[in-house]
A and B are shown apart, each in its own frame.
Chain A
Amino acid sequence: MAGTDYTAVSDDATRTVPLQPSRMDGAVIAVVRLGVGLLWMQNVGWKTPPGFGRGDLPTGLYHSVSYAVSHEVFHPYAWLVDRLVLPNFAFFGWMVLLVEASLGAFLLIGLATRFWAVVGAAQTVVIMLSVLNAPHEWFWSYVLMLLVHMTLFATAAGRYAGLDGLLRPGWQQSPSWSARWLVRAS
């Protein structure tokens, strides 16, 4: 691409040539990671223990999850929510809060980013299965949400202005199992 500092790293002209990210690319990837982390933080803000919206007139997370049953997307998931999740909602509400708070926390600082990108994609699928057919929901938003987590994974986004980039060389030199896991997760 003329006018950029992209560099071809393959001598084989017949193959697709991977591009070394420029500083601007790295900055954009970091902004995307920070933005997604902040969105998860905002999203966890309306999860309110201890009831999480359970009551005679359901609100909040309970109301949102109950759409999986009232506006079914995938029958086995609706059955699971009806029989297991809603009757034990305090436990699952806390799990949602802790997972989404951790997504915000770890994507913000860029630690184990590839692992958390996978968790974010999985959580997105769970949300899709709950609310995709609910009134006033926009299908694209959940597809975009899934794709952005795939992008964070593919670009190893924590290596740009994140702790993964700062600490990964040390993890690579360490024989400990935790360091080996962090190398894979970053």
Chain B
Amino acid sequence: MVLGGVSIASSVFVFLDGGNFQLVQIRAAGLVVALVLGVLAVVAGWFQEATLILAAGAGFLLAAAVQLVLLAGGGGGFLGGNASAFSLWLGLGVGLIVIGAVPRPETSEETFPALN
């Protein structure tokens, strides 16, 4: 759900036109990717449906790969992003695939971990 929320939140970058706070370039069809796959990831997380989580992750990885191919051709193409969009979608894709594919125990180490 959080990773889907990050994707939806990234759509705010469409309203920025350069400058110091343009951390990620989301434009054109890239906005559709951010919103549609973001909502899919949120829904998949809400229902804890591994297949949907994997589908959302695969979607982000596909978008990242397409963006990279478009960049190799010399521009953002129909997705309108740059290497920052590739980086964001790579992270979201890998994260969702890992979450969807790896079985995990009930407990979490998030609080007060031992550094070892």
Q: Indicate if the CB atoms of A41 and B92 lie closer than 8 Å.
A: no
In the complex the two chains form, what is the Cα distance from A42 to B87 in whole Å?
Answer: 9
In the complex, are the beta carbons of B71 and A48 less than 8 A apart?
Answer: yes
A167 and B98: CB pair below 8 A? yes
| Chain B residues within 8 Å of A168, by CB | 109, 113
Chain A residues near B71: list those with CB within 8 A: 48-49
Contacts of A122 in B (CB 8 A): none
Q: In the complex, A155 Cα to B115 Cα: how many Å?
A: 7
Contacting pair A104 B88 (CB below 8 A): yes
Within 8 A of A (CB), among B84-101: 84, 86-88, 90-92, 94-95, 98-99
Whether B58 sits at the interface, judged by CB under 8 Å, is: no
Chain A residue numbers with a CB within 8 Å of B112 are: 20-21
B residues adjacent to A (C-beta < 8 A): 3, 6, 22-25, 71-74, 82-84, 86-88, 90-92, 94-95, 98-99, 102-105, 107-113, 115
Chain A contributes a number of interface residues (CB within 8 A of B) equal to: 41
Contact B72 A50 (CB under 8 A): yes
Other CB < 8 Å A-B pairs besides A49-B71, A101-B83, 15 of them?
A: A38-B23, A38-B24, A42-B84, A45-B25, A50-B72, A104-B88, A104-B91, A105-B94, A106-B94, A108-B6, A108-B91, A109-B3, A160-B110, A163-B98, A169-B109
User: Chain B interface mostly helix, strand, loop or mixed?
Assistant: loop
Q: Which residues of A contact B88 (CB under 8 A)?
A: 41, 104-105, 108
Nearest residue (CB) in A for B3 is: A109
Minimum Cβ distance to chain A for residue B8 (Å): 15
Q: List 26 A-B contacts (CB under 8 A).
A: A26-B111, A41-B24, A41-B84, A42-B24, A42-B84, A45-B25, A45-B82, A46-B82, A50-B72, A101-B83, A101-B87, A104-B84, A105-B90, A109-B3, A109-B92, A156-B115, A159-B109, A159-B110, A163-B95, A163-B99, A166-B109, A166-B110, A167-B98, A168-B113, A169-B105, A169-B107
Q: Which A residues lie within 8 Å of B6 (CB)?
A: 108
